[in-house]
Structure 1
């Protein structure tokens, strides 16, 4: 039985899939299986994935396109490993990712979620997003995170190309929500981190590519099925970190809908936001006239293209 099951959901990533696969095969820990879930790609993704020969690779095929959450769920259902982890088909691991997860699992046996820091690559510029970690958290150290939600207020402390779960945890958390097209990671994070403890390696062990065409986070969200934040509100009443995390997420969606001039959904999320928990810059962005808001967004885009990532926090 492999120690790790690695799941790569794949849909039309022909330009990147071999890079992702090779980053797994080049790990300095070799006891893993690699499950590639082809979600009915219409480009050369499947052909290119099959070109790489390794006994640890299994390719799973969907009969119809089902989306990212379903692809991850298919991989989980077929996984044999004790620890299950994910890699998006357009991202890549550094060679020490799996060995870092193994170290976390040994150092913190009480934990069932294992995450690492990550770098972002934007137009060939590499940046490390700002995290809201305690000041006592030192780079290159293995730590236990007491409150994932507070730590992830600025930027997520892990993405879904640098997090792993024990099999026990996944059996209790349940599947990724296939009724959500955008925000499925957020939904899963809440269910996971309210039930299990997180061990974290404060070193970038993965590369997250921001400017990939057809990336879910860069596509329009107006036609997507969104997460229902209200289902977590009652739980958040007794968890201040989760309450702030939900409020920050609502801010994100309000900003996205303002950007797309969807007045109905913008007003919906504005009504749900607790503005006392936002920064001055966040409130200014949401309440500014649209022409001024667009100037702010244009300036931010200019900086991002030059490798400078700023936040409204």
Structure 2
């Protein structure tokens, strides 16, 4: 049985899939299987993946397009490894990623979630997003994160191209929620980190490729099924970190609907936000007139294209 099962969900990633797969095959730790889940790609993704010859690769096919969550679930259900990890088909790992996860699992046997830091690649510029980690945590350290939700208030401390789970944890957490189109990672993060401890390597071991501008577009958020934050509100009453995490997430979705000029949904998310927990910049963005908001967004996009990432925190 392999130590690791690597799951790559694939849908129309012909330009990137070979880069992602090769980054797995170049890992210094070689005890893994690689499961590529083809979610009915209509481009050349499948043919390009099939050209890569390695006995550790298995390609799984969906008969109909099911989406990202279902693709991850298919990978999990077919995985044989002790630890299951994911890589998006347009991202890549650095050669030490699996070795770092293995070190975390051995160093912190009471943890069942293992993550590393990541780089964002924006128009050939490399940015490492700011994390809200405790001051005592230093770069290159292997640490246990006591409160994932507080640590992820500014930016997620891991993305789904640099996190792994023990089989025991996945059996208890359950599948990714296929009823959610936008926010499936957030939903899974809450369920996972509410039940299990996280071990973390504070060094970027994955590269997350970001589109410009770095936000959900109208075409991706409109008419999508969003996570129901309210189902976590009762739990958050006894967990201050989770309460802040939910509030920050509500702010994020409200800002996206403001960007679309969707007044009804903007109001729906805004009314549940605790403004006392927002930064000054966040308050300004929510309350300012649309012409000012649009101007600030254009300025942000301009800066990102030049490798300067600004945040509302």
Q: TM-score range by the shorter chain?
A: over 0.9
In the alignment, structure 1 residue 139 sits paired with structure 2 residue 131: no
How far the C-alpha of 1:223 sits from its partner, in A, is 1.4
Shift of 1:57: 0.1
The C-alpha deviation readout for 1:225-281, integer Å capped at 9, x for no partner, is: 100000000000000000000000000000000000000000000101000100011
Partner of 1:98: 98
Matches within 5 A, 1:224-263: 224-263=224-263
Q: Per-residue deviation at 1:220?
A: 2.8
* Corresponding residue number in structure 2 for 1:128: 128
Per-residue deviation, residues 72-94 of structure 1 (Å, max 9, x unmatched): 00000000000000000000000
Number of residue pairs aligned between Structure 1 and Structure 2? 312
Q: What's the TM-score, normalizing by structure 1? A: 0.98
Aligned pairs (5 A) from 1:180-219 = 180-211=180-211, 217-218=216-217, 219=219
What is the aligned partner in structure 2 of residue 296 from structure 1?
Answer: 296
Aligned to 1:54: 54
1:144-163 matches, within 5 Å, as: 144-163=144-163
Q: CA deviation at 1:147?
A: 0.2
Deviation at 1:212? 7.8
Residue equivalent to 2:166: 166
RMSD: 1.2
**Contact (CA 8 Å) 1:257, 1:265: kept in 2 or not?**
yes
- Separation in structure 2 between the aligned mates of residue 212 and residue 298 of structure 1, nearest angstrom: 11
CA distance in 2, matches of 1:305, 1:216: 13
Return the alpha-carbon distance in structure 1 between the equivalents of residues 274 and 77 of structure 2.
39
Deviations 1:145-185 (A, max 9, x none): 00000000000000000000000000000000000001000
Which digits, 9 at most, give the CA deviation of each residue in 1:102-122, with x for residues without a partner?
000011000000000000000
- Distance of 2:244 and 2:215 partners within structure 1: 24
Deviations 1:58-84 (A, max 9, x none): 000000000000000000000000000
Q: CA deviation at 1:217?
A: 4.4
Check whether the contact 2:216–2:256 (CA below 8 A) recurs between aligned residues. Answer: no
Whole-angstrom distance in 2 between the partners of 1:49 and 1:230: 41
Aligned residue for 1:224, secondary structure, equals coil
SS in 2 for 1:276: helix
Which whole-Å CA distance do the structure 1 matches of 2:149 and 2:287 have between them? 25
Does the residue aligned with 1:59 lie in a helix, a strand or coil?
A: strand
Deviation, 1:222, is 1.4
Q: Shift in Å at residue 216 of structure 1?
A: 9.4
Name the SS of the counterpart of 2:71 in structure 1: helix
Q: Find the residue that maps to 1:194 and give its secondary structure.
A: helix
> Which residue does 1:113 correspond to in 2?
113
Per-residue CA deviation, residues 2-56 of structure 1 (Å, 9 max, x unaligned), is: 0000000000000000000000000000000000000000000000000000000
Query: What TM-score, normalized to structure 2?
Result: 0.98
- Structure 1 residue 86 corresponds to structure 2 residue 86: yes
Structure-2 residue corresponding to 1:176: 176
- Asked whether the 8 Å contact 2:14–2:43 carries over to 1, the reply is yes
Q: Judge which range, 43-52 or 303-312, deviates more.
A: 303-312
Is the 8 Å Cα contact of residues 90 and 212 (structure 1) preserved in structure 2?
no
